[in-house]
Amino acid sequence: MTIRWPACIVASLLAAGAAAAPAQPGGEELADLEAQSDYAFYTHDARLAARVLEDAAADAASAERRVRLQYAHAALRRVQLASLDGEHGTVVRVGEACLESLRSDVLGGADAEALALSIACGGYLSLEGGLRGHALGPRIDAWIVAAAPLVAGHPRLRLSRALALWYRTEAVADRVARCRADFESAAAALDGAHAGAAGEPSWGAADAWLYAGRAAAAAGDAVGARTAYEHALLVAPEFRAARRALDGFGTRP
Q: Please give the distance of CA 54 from its chain centroid, rounded to a whole number.
A: 17
Q: What is the mean pLDDT of the chain?
A: 86
Is 127 inside a domain boundary?
yes
Higher pLDDT: 120 or 176? It is 120
Is 154 inside a domain boundary?
yes
Q: What is the CATH number of the domain that holds 90?
A: 1.25.40.10
Is 20 inside a domain boundary?
no
Q: Contact, 84 vs 65, CB < 8 A?
A: no
Task: Report the domain count for the chain.
Answer: 1
CA-CA distance, 50 to 38, in Å (whole number)? 12
Domain that holds residue 93: 27-247
Residue 215's pLDDT is: 92
Is 32 inside a domain boundary?
yes
Q: Assess whether pLDDT exceeds 80 at residue 9.
A: no
Q: Contact, 213 vs 232, CB < 8 A?
A: yes
Q: Assess whether pLDDT exceeds 70 at residue 84.
A: yes
Is 75 inside a domain boundary?
yes
Is 22 inside a domain boundary?
no
DSSP string across 1-28: ------HHHHHHHHHHHHHHSPPPP-HH
In sequence order, the 6+-apart residues with CB closer than 8 A to the CB of 29 are 199
